[in-house]
Amino acid sequence: MAFSLTDIIKQQVNSAAGNIEIPSAVKNQVLGGLSDSILGSLTQTATKAGGIDMIKDLFGGKTSAASSPITELAGKLFTNNILKNLNLGSALGSSLTGLIPSVLGGVTKIFKDQNGDGKVDINDIIIALGGSKIGTSIIKGVLGGLFKK
């Protein structure tokens, strides 16, 4: 079964947030905001000079999720776009923002070296996303040049 990166991030967010009590009135907004912030951080990073290398280093385990600039950017996006509008309090806000490294860590575990060649590359991402023909074509077309494949 093929999954999108968005699906994988949402799954990791839902799993990480399981132990935090989020008010039901804003739960979907918070979880969606976490997912969107992480995806936004990856997208913004990919468009910067050296950004693809930062993503490869994160997914390849050279950079930990806790110390990655991608994680830092996701935290800023989440704080600025979601938390400041919800008035959830600093303790809950800190707990929610604190989930970002574990979510990204979970995502990186999914994009581990899938094909056993000793590195994380576009082929590993294709395998992790299900390797479907359509998914493979889209991913290779869009991301292939970025990963030099």
Query: DSSP assignment of the chain, as one string?
Result: ----HHHHHHHHHHHHGGGS---TTTHHHHHHHHHHHHHHHHHHHHHSTTHHHHHHHHHTTSS-GGG-HHHHHHHHHHIIIIIHHH---HHHHHHHHTHHHHHHHHHHHHTS-SSSSSS--HHHHHHHTT--HHHHHHHHHHHTTTTT-
Share of the chain above pLDDT 70, in %: 71
Cα separation, 145 vs 121, whole angstroms: 11
Query: What is the number of domains present in the chain?
Result: 2
Instruction: Express each pLDDT in 129-138 by its tens digit.
Output: 555 444 444 4
The boundaries of the domain holding residue 98 are 5-111
Query: Mean pLDDT, the chain, as a whole number?
Result: 78
Please indicate, yes or no, whether residues 145 and 92 belong to a single structural domain of this protein: no
Max mean pLDDT among 7-11, 27-31, 50-54 falls in 27-31
Please indicate, yes or no, whether residues 102 and 54 belong to a single structural domain of this protein: yes
**pLDDT computed for residue 76 by the predictor:** 96
Please indicate, yes or no, whether residues 14 and 67 belong to a single structural domain of this protein: yes
Please indicate, yes or no, whether residues 106 and 118 belong to a single structural domain of this protein: no
Please indicate, yes or no, whether residues 149 and 83 belong to a single structural domain of this protein: no
Please indicate, yes or no, whether residues 122 and 89 belong to a single structural domain of this protein: no
Please indicate, yes or no, whether residues 60 and 128 belong to a single structural domain of this protein: no
Name the residue with higher pLDDT: 144 or 41.
41
Please indicate, yes or no, whether residues 32 and 78 belong to a single structural domain of this protein: yes
Please indicate, yes or no, whether residues 90 and 123 belong to a single structural domain of this protein: no
Please indicate, yes or no, whether residues 90 and 120 belong to a single structural domain of this protein: no
Please indicate, yes or no, whether residues 49 and 100 belong to a single structural domain of this protein: yes
Instruction: Express each pLDDT in 32-78 by its tens digit.
Output: 999 999 989 988 988 889 888 888 888 877 889 999 999 999 999 99
User: How open is the CA angle 6-149-40, to the nearest 5 degrees?
Assistant: 25
Please indicate, yes or no, whether residues 85 and 121 belong to a single structural domain of this protein: no
